[in-house]
Amino acid sequence: MSEDHTPADFETDGDDGNANIDKLLAEIQSLKEQVLRYAADAENTKRRAEREMNDARAYAITKFARDLLGAADIFDRAMAAAPTEVDGPMKNFIVGVEMTAKELQGAFDRNGLKRIEPAKGEKFDPHKHQAMMEQPGTDVEPGGVIQVMQPGYELLGRLVRPAMVVVAAKAPAAAAAAHPYADGEAGESGGGSVDTRA
């Protein structure tokens, strides 16, 4: 047999009832915030795990690619040293080396491994290039690449190996123009002499 309750059964003394309701509402609000925090933490953890998994998948071949770069360098040196005027079997051998090098580079490209080989005169980029030496460059702006000694590579935007380059040094005349009083003497364009009288 069920009992019927009337609203009067739930009535409490005025102030105590309001205090209980306020307390329960505050607890509900606190629990809602806690649930939202847990949901946000779970979503962040899920996103971070997905990002790490994608990175691991994308860069899994980094070590393997780095190991193959030595072979690519040897092919480059072999093609650079190959004679141009040859006949017969030697010509076929050189064509075979060129085709193998091209196929290796094609495999690199298909897997997102891009060659970094700056053109002559391109500005030196410390994020992608490694300066092996500086030389005066007559036809290249100071700070520009004169020559690539060894190409670099990047995998999906991440540097695997920097390109080793020769960089054009700043000309002594340019350095003197930038600091006309570096040697302690007033320059001719100084706009007048300096009064040294006490």
**190 in the Ramachandran plot: left (φ > 0), alpha (ψ -120 to 50) or beta?**
alpha
What pLDDT score was predicted for residue 11? 52
Predicted confidence (pLDDT) per residue in 15-48, tens digit? 677 888 988 999 999 999 999 999 999 999 999 9
What pLDDT score was predicted for residue 190? 43
- Share of residues in the chain with pLDDT > 90 (%): 33
Report CA dihedral (113, 116, 117, 118) to the nearest 10 degrees: 150
CA distances from 139 to 51, 146, 176 (A): 46, 9, 20
Where does 62-177 sit in CATH, by number? 2.30.22.10
What pLDDT score was predicted for residue 161? 93
Q: Are strands 152-155 and 158-161 parallel, antiparallel or unpaired?
A: antiparallel
Q: Are strands 129-136 and 163-169 parallel, antiparallel or unpaired?
A: parallel
Neighbours of 155 (CB within 10 A): 19
Residue range 3-16: mean pLDDT, rounded: 55
What pLDDT score was predicted for residue 13? 55
Q: What residue type is assigned to position 178 of the chain?
A: A
Predicted confidence (pLDDT) per residue in 95-120, tens digit? 999 999 999 999 998 888 999 999 88
What pLDDT score was predicted for residue 191? 44
- pLDDT of 63 over the 60 cut: yes
Q: Residue written as tokens 């600091």?
A: 179
